[in-house]
Amino acid sequence: MRRREFFAALATGGLLGPARRLLADSILVSSNPLISEYNLESVDDRYTPVDDFYVRNHYGIPPAAATLILKGEVQRPVTLTDRDLAALKVRQVGAVLECSGNGTGPDALVSNGLWEGWSLGEVLALARPTAQAKYLHLTGADGFRRSIPIDYVHEDAMLVTRLNRRPLGAEHGAPWRALFPGRYGMESVKWLREIELAVAPWPAQPADYLASLKAPDGTVTREPLPRVLTKSVITYPALGAVLHRGTVTLRGLAWSGSGRIVAVEVTTDGGKSWRLASLEPGSRYEWTIWRYTVHIQGTGIAEFACRAVDDTGAEQPATRDPRRIDPYANNTIERIQFLVQ
């Protein structure tokens, strides 16, 4: 079932069975709320096709919001329509969007897209924020809410209406959504209905996306997640593939919310040695495509692994911080095995 057929069936009440696979490139995890993963092994272009772009919704898809309310710590509370926003300069940014709950492996909650819309800073300027405004309270038409520092706006934040030169689909937040490049996806609230500028954040809730660290004495502290962590994956050969002796070119992806990817290293001998892969970088927030050619001589089980480094020096760890008891922001080195005949 293609994703567009899924939406048609959902609209007519014709989808009542269990979750099932969609295309080879997209896996339906949940129908309500809609969650679908993107199979990274299918990557053949820089941008993820819109029909396969991952989806992580928290509630049902709501009717499209026709207005955007700006209120709170502003000099001019305003309700904006698409006509008001059309007067602003249109901008584009290529950016990876990754769910904070994305793990390792080929079926992933991450995609790379070309986004189009308006600078969120310019949108907010229409309401003239006061000096006391330190946080943004974002509310989507589905009821999902986030409270984030206003400083995030200065990190190329946008109000987007198009993805890969197509209008946003219902599953991606039409008619508009927030986009915070380099931040995990939960900040980029869909179906954005209201932005309240505030002096303080909303109180943290148990279900909030936070890093939870458990100390030896059992004390648990919770703190905000960082920018998208440096990460890399192998997209070819596929996990569990059967290879033949000879020359094989490994392919993969790497990205980071903190800086540009400057190196991807690959090991084919269990970590005894690491070799640099060749890189095809994208723009600042896009993923980098990498390749590495290896000559396989022996037979049996072979294990390959990759690790990335960005221009701030951030690199992937071999293991996760043992204090972490939450499932978020996992960027440990991916190791995959193949059978060589």
What is the rounded CA–CA span in Å between residue 187 and residue 177?
10
Q: What is the predicted pLDDT for the residue at 238?
A: 86
If asked whether residues 107 and 152 sit together in one domain, one would say yes
Comparing C-alpha atoms, which of 60, 163, 55 is closest to residue 109? 55
pLDDT in tens, 302-340: 899 999 999 999 999 999 999 999 999 999 999 999 899
Query: Of 173, 198, 223, which marks where a domain is finished?
Result: 198
**Cα(164)–Cα(154) distance, rounded to whole angstroms?**
23
Shared domain check, 296 and 191: no
In a domain, 149, yes or no: yes
Nearest to 93 by CA among 164, 44, 175: 164
Range of the domain at 175: 3-198
Query: What's residue 9's pLDDT?
Result: 45
pTM (2 decimals)?
0.90
Domain end marker among 153, 179, 198: 198
Question: How many domains does the chain contain in total?
Answer: 2
Establish if 319 belongs to a structural domain.
yes
Residue 3 is predicted with a pLDDT of: 45
User: What pLDDT is attached to residue 1?
Assistant: 38
Query: Given a cut of 90, is residue 15 above it in pLDDT?
Result: no
Convert the pLDDT of each residue in 146-157 to its tens digit: 999 999 999 999
Evaluate whether residue 189 is within a structural domain.
yes
pLDDT, tens digit, for every residue of 131-179? 999 999 999 999 999 999 999 999 999 999 999 999 999 999 999 999 9
Are both 160 and 259 inside the same structural domain? no
Burial class of residue 13, CB neighbours in 10 A (0-12, 13-18, 19+):
exposed
Q: Which of the 8 DSSP states describes residue 6?
A: H
Does 215 map to a domain?
no
* Residue 167 and residue 263 in one domain: no
266 and 191 share a domain? no
Average pLDDT of the segment spanning 19-43: 79
Higher local confidence (pLDDT), 295 or 206: 295
Domain boundary among 183, 198, 213: 198
Tell how strand 166-167 and strand 275-276 pair up: unpaired
- Residue 263 · residue 276 · CB < 8 Å: yes
In this prediction, residue 277 carries a pLDDT of 98
